[in-house]
Amino acid sequence: MIDRAAYTAWIEGYERAWRSPGTGGLAELFTEDATYLHSPYADPVIGLDAIRADWEANRDGPDEEFTMAAVILAIEGETGVARVFVRYAANHQEYLDLWVARFGPDGRCKWFEEWPFWPGQAWSASDRAPAG
């Protein structure tokens, strides 16, 4: 079971880990066999070592300037859902994500799935550019 206080602390730990050098803090956040999806259709990143490598490949480093704010939308059993707003200073890119996280008995995340959206992103299939 997870509660709002525990999910809030986990989100704060996630932000702290993203802002920290290296990936040592990830062991406090994710189980050894955790699954991490950057979107519901993305190939899963499986296992703590793979998540560490993925983080290093996808961030500019601990000095990357960004703001982040989260609101927990729902808690049900071992699952928490949050709306997370992130704005990166360097490229002025912003994201509004839904985070779906399932937790193990020790409070670490065993399944993490993002639903990222950003300004100008199509919201329906009819808005997509034709393939080719």
CATH of the domain at 102: 3.10.450.50
Q: Is residue 52 scored above 50 in pLDDT?
A: yes
Q: Which domain holds residue 67?
A: 4-119
Q: Provide the pLDDT for residue 123.
A: 77
Q: Are 104 and 112 in contact (CB under 8 A)?
A: no
Q: Are 86 and 99 in contact (CB under 8 A)?
A: no
Q: Provide the pLDDT for residue 132.
A: 47
**Per-residue tokens: 96:** 């509004």
CB within 8 Å of 31: residues ≥ 6 apart = 48, 104, 106, 108, 109, 110
Q: Provide the pLDDT for residue 106.
A: 96
The mean of the pLDDT values for the chain is 91
* End-to-end Cα distance, the chain: 47
The half-sphere exposure of 102 on its side-chain side, counting CA atoms within 13 A, is 8
Q: Are 48 and 30 in contact (CB under 8 A)?
A: yes
Q: Is residue 16 part of a domain?
A: yes
Q: Is residue 124 part of a domain?
A: no
Query: 97 pLDDT band (50/70/90 cuts)?
Result: very high
Q: Provide the pLDDT for residue 119.
A: 86
Q: Is residue 30 part of a domain?
A: yes
Q: Provide the pLDDT for residue 128.
A: 60
Q: Is residue 132 part of a domain?
A: no
Q: Is residue 127 part of a domain?
A: no
Q: Is residue 131 part of a domain?
A: no
Encode pLDDT of 69-89 as tens digits: 999 999 999 999 999 999 988
Q: Provide the pLDDT for residue 118.
A: 87
Q: 26-30, 44-48, 91-95: lowest mean pLDDT where?
A: 91-95
Q: Is residue 26 part of a domain?
A: yes
Q: Is residue 38 part of a domain?
A: yes
Q: Is residue 54 scored above 80 in pLDDT?
A: yes
Tally of structural domains, the chain: 1
